Structure 1
Amino acid sequence: MTTSEKLTQMVIAVALFFGVMALILLITQRLRSRNGERVQAAAFLGPAMLLISIGLLYPAIATAWQSLHGAGPFDPPFVGLDNYKNLFTNSQQLTVLRNTLFWVVLTPIVSTAIGLIYAVLVDRAKFEKFAKALLFLPMAISMVGASIIWKFVYAYKSSSTGDTVEQIGLLNQFLTWLHLPTYNFLLNDPWNTFFLIVILIWIQAGFAMTILSASIKAIPDDIVEAARLDGVGGWKMFRHITVPSIRPSLIVVLTTITIATLKVFDIVQTATGGNFNTSVLAYEFYRQDFVAGNQGLATAIAVVIFLLVTPIVIYNVRQMRKLEAR
C-alpha cells in the first residue's frame, strides 16, 4: 500500500467520523426536553458502546466459551472445566503458576521500594537530575533489549578440563576474580526465575522513581516545615509525612507494575524461551496456543490472567474516585 493510498484512507475515515457526528447532531438538535437530552446522550454513546462490544465484549465472551473446549483447530470437543482443572493440577502448569506468583509478588514491591528510597535520597541533591537519569535510563530500553543485555551479564562458560576459563558474563567474571566457582544463572530452577525478575525490576524501578519523586515534590512545604519544627526528622519524617502524603501515587505505581508483570512475556521468551522451568502465564498462553496448538488451555490461561487483573483495576479505579471526591 502506497503512502497516497494510506493518506486517502485516513481522510475517508476522518470524513466518516465527522459525518456521523454531524448526522447525530442533525437528528437530535431539536430535542430540548430531559428525555431529549437522554436520547442525545445515547445517540453519542451508542457508536462507542457498539465498538466496545465488538472489540472487547464479544472477544471476551468468545474466549471464555472457547476455554471450555479441548484442543484442535476445527470443531474442538466440549470439555467443560477440564482445562481449568489441568491448569491447577498439572505439575508443569503448577510450576507456571508458582513462577507467576513470584513475579507478581516480588517485582512490584521491590521496584516500588527501590524507586521510593532512591527518590527520597536524591531529592533536592546537587546531582539529582543526573542520578534520576541513571535510574530512569533502563525505561528507554525495550524488554527484549534489556533481556539481551542481562543475558550477557548472566552468560556462563563451562570448562571440561578444570582450568580457569575467561568468562564473558559479568557476574561469572566477578566470581572468577574472587576465586569462587562460576554459576549458570539461567539454568538452575527455581533461582533462574528470580534472576529473570531482576531484569524487570531494573526496568520498572525508574518508572516508580519518576512518579514517586514528582509526588514527593508536590508535598506542601508548610507540612514539612511544621513537622521539622515539631522535631520530626529522618525515619519519622519518611514514615509519618512522606509515605502518607504520596499514598495515592504508591497505589498507582504498585498496581501499574503488577498489571505489567502479569503480562510479562518478552523477558522469558528472550532470556530462556520458557525453558528450565521459567515459564509464566503470559508465555504459557503463547506456547499452548501457537506452539502446542491447544487453544482450549491457552484461552483458559487468558481468562485466568483477565480474572487476576480485574480486581486490581477495580481497586485502582475506586481509589481514584475517592481522591476525586475529596
Structure 2
Amino acid sequence: MHPALQGMLTIVIGVGACITYFWGSNQFLDKVLYPPKGPNAGRNINRANIIRPWLFLFPAVFALSLYLAYPVVETLRLSVTQRIPGGGSEFVGFDNYAQMFGEQKFWEAMRNNMMWLLVVPAVSTAMGLLVAQLTDRIRWGAIAKSLIFMPMAISFVGAAVIWKLVYDARPPGTEQIGVLNAIYVGLMDGEPQQWLTTPFWNNFFLMVVLVWIQTGFAMVILSAALRGIPEETVEAAIVDGANPFQVFFKIKVPQIMGTIVVVWTTITIVVLKIFDIVFAMTNGQWETQVLANYMYDKLFRSNDWGVGSASAMVIMLLVTPILVWNVYNARKEMR
C-alpha cells in the first residue's frame, strides 16, 4: 500500500474508532446500564454522570498505562535480573547497578550530562529571553522570530547532520567545506581542526546544536510572557527614571520568573534525555558519552539488558524530580 494512502487510512480508522467508542459508551451507559427513566431515573442519572468521565478517560489511561507505566515496571524488573544461558533470567539484586557504577564510561556519561545541564538550559533560556526582548522592539521582529524558531521544526538527527557539516574538516591545503574550519583557516591562517574529536571541548560543540534548537522554544514562551506584563508597571518605572536595563532586570524579569523557571526545567528534561545529537555526531566517542547513549550501547550493542535497564532507571530518577518541579511551577503559574 502507498504510504500516503496508508497514512490516510490510519487517520480514518483512528478517528472512526474514537467516535465509535465515545458514542457507543454513551449509548451503553444511558440505554442499557443506567437508563434515565422509571422510578430510579434520578439515581441512574447521578450514577451515569459519575461513571461517564471515567469512560471518556479510559482510552488515555489505558494508553498511558500500556506505554508508560508498564515499561517503567518492566525496566525496573530487568535492572535487577540477569539473562542466563539457554533462556530465562535470574534475580541478581543490585549487581547490575554495582557493575554500572564500576564502569568508567558510566561516570564519563554522568560527567558530560552534568556539563550539559549546566550549560544548555542556562544559555538557551538566556538567549531566548534576550531574543524575545529585542525582537519585540524592532519592526521586523516577527520575521526574526520565525527564523530563530525554524530549527525547532528540524529533527535532532537532521540538526546533527547540518552541524556535522559545519564542523567538517578537510586535509590542509584543500578547500574547506566546513564553515567553522573555513573561517578559522581563512582568518587565523591555521590548520584545519577536527573539532568533534578534541576531548572536553567537543562536548561544547555538541551543546551548540541543542542550544540552536531550544533557543527558539525559549523565545516563543518568554515572548508571550513579556507581552503579558502590564504596561502600567513599565511606564511607572520609566517615569521614575529607570533606564532600559533597570526596567528589564528589575521590572520585567521578576514578573516572568515563574515562566523562566518552567522554560529552564523543560529544557533541563530534554538535556537529561539527550541522545540523537551525540549518537549522530560522535556516537559517544572521544569522551562525549552521555547517559542515553550509554544505555543504548548496553541494551542494543552489548545486549546487556540488566546494566542497560539500570542506566535507564538512573535517567528516570534524574528526570523525575525536575518533572515534578516543572508541573508544580506550571500549576502555580496558572493560578
Q: TM-score under structure 1 normalisation?
A: 0.88
| Aligned counterparts, 1:144-163, within 5 A | 144-159=157-172
Q: Deviations over 1:262-302 (max 9, x none)?
A: 22221112111222222211222222111111111111121
How much does 1:130 deviate? 2.5
How much does 1:184 deviate? 0.9
Measure, in 2, the Cα distance between the counterparts of 1:165 and 1:309: 46
Q: Contact 1:104–1:258 at 8 Å: present in 2 too?
A: yes
Q: Contact 1:24–1:43 at 8 Å: present in 2 too?
A: no
* Pick aligned residue for 1:242 from 229, 240, 252: 252
Q: 1:72 to 1:275 in 2, by over 3 A?
A: farther
Q: Give the equivalent residue in structure 1 for 2:103.
A: 90
Paired residue type of 1:296: G
| Aligned counterparts, 1:1-326, within 5 A | 3=5, 6=10, 9-10=13-14, 11-12=16-17, 14-26=19-31, 27-28=33-34, 30=41, 31=43, 38=50, 45=57, 48-71=60-83, 74-159=87-172, 164-177=173-186, 178-325=188-335
How much does 1:198 deviate? 0.6
In the TM superposition, structure 1's runs of 4+ consecutive aligned residues that sit over 6 Å from their partners are 33-36
Measure, in 1, the Cα distance between the counterparts of 2:282 and 2:84: 27
Q: 1:228 to 1:6 in 2, by over 3 A?
A: closer
Q: 1:119 to 1:45 in 2, by over 3 A?
A: closer
Paired residue type of 2:297: R
Paired residue type of 1:86: Q
Measure, in 2, the Cα distance between the counterparts of 1:43 and 1:210: 36
CA RMSD of aligned residues (A): 2.6
Q: Contact 2:105–2:289 at 8 Å: present in 1 too?
A: no
Aligned-pair identity (%): 39
Paired residue type of 1:15: T
Paired residue type of 2:105: Q
How much does 1:228 deviate? 0.9
Q: TM-score under structure 2 normalisation?
A: 0.86
How much does 1:93 deviate? 0.9
Measure, in 2, the Cα distance between the counterparts of 1:43 and 1:149: 46
Q: Contact 1:138–1:203 at 8 Å: present in 2 too?
A: yes
Paired residue type of 1:288: K
Q: 1:43 to 1:138 in 2, by over 3 A?
A: closer
How much does 1:250 deviate? 0.8
Q: Contact 1:72–1:295 at 8 Å: present in 2 too?
A: no
Q: What are structure 2's unaligned runs of at least 5 residues?
A: none
Q: 1:7 to 1:277 in 2, by over 3 A?
A: closer
Q: 1:260 to 1:174 in 2, by over 3 A?
A: same
How much does 1:85 deviate? 2.2
Measure, in 1, the Cα distance between the counterparts of 2:129 and 2:149: 13
Paired residue type of 1:153: V
Q: Contact 1:71–1:293 at 8 Å: present in 2 too?
A: no
Q: Deviations over 1:216-250 (max 9, x none)?
A: 11111111111111112222111111111111221
SS of 1:70's partner is strand
Measure, in 2, the Cα distance between the counterparts of 1:214 and 1:264: 27
Q: 1:189 to 1:71 in 2, by over 3 A?
A: farther
Paired residue type of 2:178: G
Measure, in 2, the Cα distance between the counterparts of 1:154 and 1:97: 25
